[in-house]
Structure 1
Amino acid sequence: MSPRRAAALRDDDLSLRDHLIATAERMISEGGTAGLTVRGIAREAGVADGVLYNHFADKEELLAQAFRAHVRSVEAGLGPLPEPGTGSVRANLAAYVSHGLAMHRAILPAMAGLIGRPEVLARFAAAGETGEDWRDRLLAYLRAERELGRLAPDARVEAAAAMVVGVCHEAVLSLLFSGTEPERDVDDLVAALLAGIRP
């Protein structure tokens, strides 16, 4: 281990790769992704610029991993989501919608700097595991409730999940392009969804 690398990791149990991801994630959390450079990440991490290329194919891979870490961190701060079969479907679905809206709002500053970087977003999408993302968990929740008989046996839960995701995306796009988020009544949205999928 080089002296510079040792200094960067002195008080940390992370590998250098994880240290670089954590550093970039912290920078994204504090200032978004616009203007984030390899040099800036390396300096903040306490390593030479070229060290990043020993652990990542390129800057895009590092940014994708850091953005994924940022999304996970945001979601962890929002608390757990309801489990199938607990509480009421109406309240649980409202919790999923509220969670999705809050998550999308929170990641908007980081996402805004990546809109013109499709290669980073493509790697972000490819780096995820099935079932890990909020959308996957929403769909799994709806499928489980259908299996439990708390939704209609022929409920089109994929379409319902797509509608909820669309509402969250619309809110973010409105913020991004007009600076305002449309008024959303989560209870009304849930009522409209359940009218089509409840037994």
Structure 2
Amino acid sequence: MAGESANNNEIVIPSITRIFLGPVGSTAPADATSPMPEALRNVGLTTEDSLKFNSEPNFEQVRSAQSSYPTRTFQTQDAATIEVDLQQWSGNNFRAVYGGGTIATVTVTGPPASTHYKFTPPRIGSRTEVMAVVEVIDGGKHYRYIIPRAMQMEGVSKDLAKTKEAVLPLRLAVQGGDDLDAWYVLTDDPAFATA
């Protein structure tokens, strides 16, 4: 029987994962291992098992009286999402999780005098898109999912329990366009050469 032989070197265990976000139009990494471009910032620590990349195409089927099975299937749309829970609370991560917003300085006259900050989520119609890079490392193999445009398109639900850390749920929907790939992967994994 023809086919690929069993090869445990083609099993991927994502021992290290990182998420980078930046403005749409930022320079993407050129390959799977070069330094990340400056405009893309690391969101920091994330929970161990929360990272997911979902590709969800939709299909329609044509049915005919002469067959119990569909006689033709065609794709009607594509969709992809990134899900990850951020452990680090920062102004940049709040803005990422809520799809934008503003941070203003609030001066407290005291005593003692100190500086506070006010985060305001975006209003309807003012959410911002971001560029995202998901980095996956398994030993000497590297993978980078490049997403030129993505937008936070879900509500934000945070558990504020005193028995565990409170996380910021980042849920990005991949955006597309005729002029660029909606997403792609860069890798140095030799197993891809056989394709």
Asked if these proteins are the same fold (TM beyond 0.5), I'd say: no
> Which bin holds the TM-score, normalised by the shorter protein?
under 0.3
Q: Pick the structure with greater CA Rg.
A: 2
| TM-score, normalised via structure 1 length | 0.24
Which structure shows the higher helix fraction?
1
Which structure shows the higher strand fraction?
2
| TM-score, normalised via structure 2 length | 0.24
